[in-house]
Amino acid sequence: MIPITRPVVGDQEVAAAAAVIRSGWLTQGAKVAEFERAVCAYVGAGHAVATSSCTAALHLALVAAGVGPGDEVICPSLSFIATANAVLHAGATPVFVDIEPATLNIDARAVEAAITPRTACIMPVDQLGLAADIDAIGAIARRHGLPVVEDAAPALGANVGARRVGSLSTLTCFSFHPRKVITTGEGGMITTGDEGMAARLRSLRSHAASTSDLARHGSAAPDFEEYREVGYNYRMTDIQAAIGLVQVDRLEGILAERRRLGLRYNTLLAGLVVTPVDAPGREHTFQSYCVRLPDAARRPAVMAHLAARGIATRRGVMAIHLEPAYRGRFPGLSLPETESAAASTMLLPLFPGMGDAAQDEVVAALREALG
């Protein structure tokens, strides 16, 4: 079977995890701090705060941005369900807006039109590894005095001009799930330029304790921590962070190979399906390779045909407002571009190490299926 993806992990990750286990300090500690510094330096942010997942990161980021009950958060419906779940976890209401069909990212013009007196935050998603139009969204946010929480779960390494995603918005959240560019098994990270927000995030992720475990461990004097607000356990472990540090060293190589394979698919599939595109000043990192079929109704048959040839596929991005958990909350909501993309898109295998021969097999099978 050609899988949809395969993480790039090996003996170095095994050795790094084993060293942490042997050290006796397994939960959040020095390795998490080192991993935060590495990601922070890579994206060019002021501060980075590791979490147990990107979903946890999004929830914390919204809380730190001051989002709470009664507030509205503008976000795309065309995303993984975690985007909107985080808004509900924060007690706020997602306000879904439509996408630009070419990039599958939130339409900045629709964002401005959706702002109301209750809007507390704008939450763009850098879908499938292509940055949203963060410059336009940032300008709208500044005009209205709103924070931007960027869901960059799939987009470590993506750029807007000369700047990297992670250095652009009030708060940016990344995922290290194995389907993402680099992995820690599960894990997330928030980057921000705001020192006060970073301090609050660090506190909130560990029950809002006034001092960390590591500080108490290293303290010569008795250290009685206080809990001044209700926080969460969203900690990353040092085992995960040690794996993440090895992964950061692999990042440039992974990104280069993903880009090569993505562009190669684009050439081989031109004219057969609609292929992913770069946007002005923004290069696609192909965290997932998503095509749009000419006829949405044929998608199940196409996916079945590829599966019979030993090739894994997935539906493309979901429309959150059409999922059972959300349908009842948004009766009658119509987002034509989102609904069309959700019905007609499909992910193809793409991962470093798949090789050109496997890619040729996928292309041949898709050509056959579309007959």
Ligand X SMILES: Cc1ncc(COP(=O)(O)O)c(C=O)c1O
Of 32, 38, 50, 55, the residue at the interface with ligand X (CB under 6 A) is 55
Stretch that binds ligand X, among 60-68, 74-82, 254-262, 298-306 (CB under 6 A): 74-82
Rule CB under 6 A: is residue 82 a binding residue for ligand X? Answer: yes
Rule CB under 6 A: is residue 303 a binding residue for ligand X? Answer: no
C-alpha–C-alpha distance, residues 106 and 77, integer Å:
9
Contact 344, 291 (CB under 8 A): no
Backbone angles phi, psi at 295, to 5 degrees: -135, 105
Nearer to ligand X, 98 or 151 (CB): 151
Strand ranges, E, within the chain: 47-51, 72-76, 93-97, 119-122, 149-151, 159-160, 163-164, 171-175, 188-192, 289-292, 314-315, 345-348
Rule CB under 6 A: is residue 96 a binding residue for ligand X? Answer: no
Least separation in angstroms between CB 151 and ligand X: 5
- Sign of the CA dihedral 182, 184, 186, 188? negative
Q: Identify residues 102-141 at the interface with ligand X (CB under 6 A).
A: 125
C-alpha–C-alpha distance, residues 350 and 362, integer Å:
10
Among residues 31, 180, 205, 305, which one is catalytic?
180
Least separation in angstroms between CB 58 and ligand X: 6
Of 79, 172, 338, 344, the residue at the interface with ligand X (CB under 6 A) is 79
Question: Residues 162-181: x/- map of binding to ligand X (CB under 6 A)?
Answer: -------------x-x----
Nearer to ligand X, 17 or 54 (CB): 54
Rule CB under 6 A: is residue 339 a binding residue for ligand X? Answer: no
- Sign of the CA dihedral 202, 205, 211, 215? negative
C-alpha–C-alpha distance, residues 316 and 18, integer Å:
36
**β-pairing verdict for 149-151 and 171-175:** parallel
Which of 21-26's residues contact partners 24+ apart within 8 Å by CB, and which partners? Answer: 21/239, 23/238, 25/238, 26/237, 26/238, 26/239
Is 180 assigned a catalytic role? yes
Rule CB under 6 A: is residue 80 a binding residue for ligand X? Answer: yes
Stretch that binds ligand X, among 52-60, 203-211, 235-243, 262-270 (CB under 6 A): 52-60
| 235 class by beta-carbon count within 10 Å (0-12 exposed, 13-18 middle, 19+ buried) | buried
Of 2, 153, 241, 335, the residue at the interface with ligand X (CB under 6 A) is 153
Helix (H), strand (E) counts: the chain: 13, 12
Place of tokens 């369900």: 81
Of 5, 83, 247, 338, the residue at the interface with ligand X (CB under 6 A) is 83
Q: Identify residues 210-249 at the interface with ligand X (CB under 6 A).
A: none
Least separation in angstroms between CB 83 and ligand X: 5
Nearer to ligand X, 83 or 359 (CB): 83
Least separation in angstroms between CB 222 and ligand X: 37
Least separation in angstroms between CB 80 and ligand X: 4
Nearest to 167, CA basis, from 254, 51, 49, 47? 47
How many CB atoms sit inside 10 A of residue 146's CB? Answer: 21
Least separation in angstroms between CB 288 and ligand X: 8
Rule CB under 6 A: is residue 319 a binding residue for ligand X? Answer: no
Tokens standing for residue 179: 């389907």
Rule CB under 6 A: is residue 53 a binding residue for ligand X? Answer: yes
Nearer to ligand X, 83 or 170 (CB): 83
Of 8, 40, 54, 342, the residue at the interface with ligand X (CB under 6 A) is 54
Residues noted as catalytic: 180
Q: Rule CB under 6 A: which residues touch ligand X?
A: 53-55, 79-80, 82-83, 125, 151, 153-154, 175, 177, 188
